[in-house]
Amino acid sequence: MGLGFTHRQILVTMSGLVIAMLLAQLDNMIVAPALPTIVGELGGLQHLAWVTTGYILASTIATPIWGKLGDLFGRRITFVSAILVFLIGSALCGVAQNMPELVGFRALQGLGAGGLIVGVLSIVGEMIPPRDRSKYQGIMMAVMPVAMIGGPLIGGFITDHVSWRWAFYVNLPLGAIALVVSWITLAKLPRGTGRARIDWLGTGLLTVWITSLVLITSWGGTEYDWASPQILGLAALTIVGLIAFIVVERRQPEPIMPLRVFKNRNFSLAGGIAFISGFALFGAIGYLPQYQQFVQGASATNSGLLLMPMMMAVMVVSILVGQVISRTGRYRIFPIIGSIVVAAGMFLFSTVDVGTSTFVTAVYMVVLGVGMGGIMQTSTLIAQNSLELRDMGAGTGVSTFLRNMGGSLGVSVLGAVYAHNLTDSLSHSGAAAGGSPSTSSMTPHLLRTLPQAVQQVFERAVTDGIDTLFLWGSVVAAVGIVVAVFVKHVPLRGGRPVAEPAAKPTETKEEVLVG
C-alpha cells in the first residue's frame, strides 16, 4: 500500500496530520466571530475583508510553493517548517496594534497555513492509493468541519469573556503539539533529493498576478471607480503577470506549478469545482456572523454555535461519501449533487430578512453543509487520481491553490458586495431615522446602545448586504453544477478491484490509466 505503510502506521501518521489540519482550519474559523469586535476596536469597515483575505491570499500563493518544496526536499521538513511559520504569525497577530499590522501578520499566518493544508493532502496522497484513500480523506475532511465548529465557539467565547487577541494565542500550545507529533510520525517519509533549483521567477510572477487580481476585486467600485487608472493599471498588471507566468512555467525544468497537469480533463474540472466550492464556503462562513450578531442579536459565542448545523452536515456527509466511494469506486455523482445543493443553500440565504428566525437559518445551513460535504473531498480525490506520483505534491498544491483562490476572490468580491450594499442602504434610509450610523467603528455591543430607530436602519442595511452577497454566491455556485456534469468517471487506482466498462478504442492511455 503506497510507500509500504501498514494500516496501523497510516493511523499513527495521520494522528499528526489531523492535529496539523485542525490547527490550520481552527484558526481560519476562530476569527470570524471576533471580526465585528476587532474591526470596531482597531477601526474601519473597509478593512474587514482584508483580515480574512490577507490570510487566504497568502495561503493561496504559498500553497503551490510548499507543494513543490515537498517534492524536492521531502514532506517532513517542509511540513514542520510550515507549522513554525504559522506559529510565528499567530504570535504576532496577538500583539497587533492596528489594522495594517493585523492584516500583515495574518498574511504571515497564511503563508504557513498554505503549507499545512497542502502538506496534509500530499502526505496522504503519497502514502495511500486513490481507491483506499477516500475513506482516510473522508476522516481528514471531517476534521475541517470539527475545526469549523470549534473555531467559532472558541473564538466567540474568547471574544466575549477574555480578549480577541487570545483567538490567536490559543494556536501556540496546539501548534507545539502538532510540531512534535508531526516530526515523530513523519520520519518514514522519503527525504527528497533537494538538488533541483527552486522556480523563484515563477513564484514571483504568481504572487504579482494573484495579488493584483484580488486587489481589483477588493477595490473596484469601492475604493476606486472601475474605470480609474488604479483599477485599469491593476488589470493590465494581472494580464501581463499571468501571461509571463505561463511562459516561464512552460520553460522551467522544475516549475512551481507544472502546467502539464491541466492537460488532463478531469484534473482541470476538479480544479474548477474546488475553486467554486472555496468561493461559496469562505463567502458563507466569513459573513454570516455579521448577520447573526447585528441582526439576530447573537453574542460572538452564540454566533459560533449557530454555525454548528452547517459544520455537522459537512462532517457527516464527508465521512459517508468517503465510505461509499471506498466501497463502490464510484464518485462522479457526488460533485454534481453537491453543487446543486450548495447553489440551493446559497439562494435560500439570499431570502433572509430582519425577522428570519435562527431555526430557519439553521435549516439553510444544513442544506449548504450537505452540499459542501459532497464536494470537498471528491474534488481532491478526482484531482489526485489524475496525477502521477512525481507531481503529487505540486499537483495537490495546484488543486488546493484553486480552492484557496476561490476563497480569496469569494471573500474579496462578496465582501465588496456586502460593504457596498450596507453603506448604500444606510445612505438611503439613514435620514429617515435621524442620521446614518457610522459603519467604521460599529460593534454589536455599541449598536444595542443606540436609539431603536437607528438600530432598525442598521439591521436593515446589514440584511440588504447579506441578501445580495448570497444571491451572487448562488449564481457562482450554479456554475459549479455545469462544471461537475462534465467530469468523466475513471477507475480509482489501487485498492479492491471493481468492475468497470471496457475502455473504448478512442480513449487515450492517459484518460484510462490516469483519469
Per-residue pLDDT of 339-371, as tens digits, reads 999 999 999 999 999 989 889 999 998 999 899
Q: In angstroms, how far apart are the furthest CA atoms of the chain?
A: 75
Among candidate residues 377, 158, 165, 152, the one with its CA nearest the CA of residue 287: 152
Tell me the HSE value of 149 on the side-chain side, using a 13 A CA sphere.
15
Q: How many CB atoms lie within 10 A of CB 184?
A: 12
Report the range out of 146-160, 360-374, 403-417 with the highest average pLDDT.
360-374
Task: Extract the C-alpha cell encoding 81.
Answer: 517548517
- Mean per-residue pLDDT over the chain, rounded: 78
Whole-number Å distance between alpha carbons of 403 and 409: 10
Give me the pLDDT at residue 416, please.
76
Which tops the pLDDT comparison, 217 or 481?
481
In this prediction, residue 498 has a pLDDT band, given cuts at 50, 70 and 90, of very low
* Rounded percentage of the chain residues whose pLDDT exceeds 90: 12
- Are the C-beta atoms of 142 and 57 separated by less than 8 Å? no
**What are the backbone angles phi and psi of residue 188, rounded to the nearest 5°?**
-80, -15
Residue range 152-179: mean pLDDT, rounded: 81
Q: Reply yes or no on whether the pLDDT at 500 is more than 60.
A: no
Give me the pLDDT at residue 108, please.
92
Q: Reply yes or no on whether the pLDDT at 331 is more than 80.
A: yes
- Within 33-129, residue ranges assigned H as helices are 35-42, 48-73, 75-94, 99-127
Give me the pLDDT at residue 347, please.
93
Residue range 261-280: mean pLDDT, rounded: 86
Residue range 20-39: mean pLDDT, rounded: 74
Q: Reply yes or no on whether the pLDDT at 430 is more than 60.
A: no
Contacts of 445 (CB under 8 A, 6+ apart): 37
Among candidate residues 74, 148, 66, the one with its CA nearest the CA of residue 115: 66
* Burial class of residue 477, CB neighbours in 10 A (0-12, 13-18, 19+): buried
pLDDT in tens, 374-401: 887 788 778 877 777 666 666 777 877 7
Q: Reply yes or no on whether the pLDDT at 47 is more than 70.
A: no
Whole-number Å distance between alpha carbons of 376 and 378: 6
* Rounded percentage of the chain residues whose pLDDT exceeds 70: 81
Which tops the pLDDT comparison, 11 or 430?
11
Q: What is the pTM of this model?
A: 0.70
Which tops the pLDDT comparison, 15 or 107?
107
Q: Reply yes or no on whether the pLDDT at 510 is more than 50.
A: no
Residue range 397-420: mean pLDDT, rounded: 78
Report the range out of 143-147, 192-196, 422-426 with the highest average pLDDT.
422-426
Give me the pLDDT at residue 142, please.
64
Which tops the pLDDT comparison, 222 or 75?
75
pLDDT in tens, 294-323: 888 887 667 767 777 887 888 788 878 877
Residue range 181-210: mean pLDDT, rounded: 77
pLDDT in tens, 114-151: 888 788 877 777 777 666 666 666 666 666 666 766 77
* Burial class of residue 448, CB neighbours in 10 A (0-12, 13-18, 19+): exposed
Contacts of 189 (CB under 8 A, 6+ apart): 3, 74, 75, 76, 123, 126
Whole-number Å distance between alpha carbons of 190 and 406: 32
Give me the pLDDT at residue 411, please.
75
What CATH architecture applies to the domain 7-199+252-489+498-513? Up-down Bundle (1.20)
Q: Reply yes or no on whether the pLDDT at 244 is more than 90.
A: yes
Residue range 476-492: mean pLDDT, rounded: 87
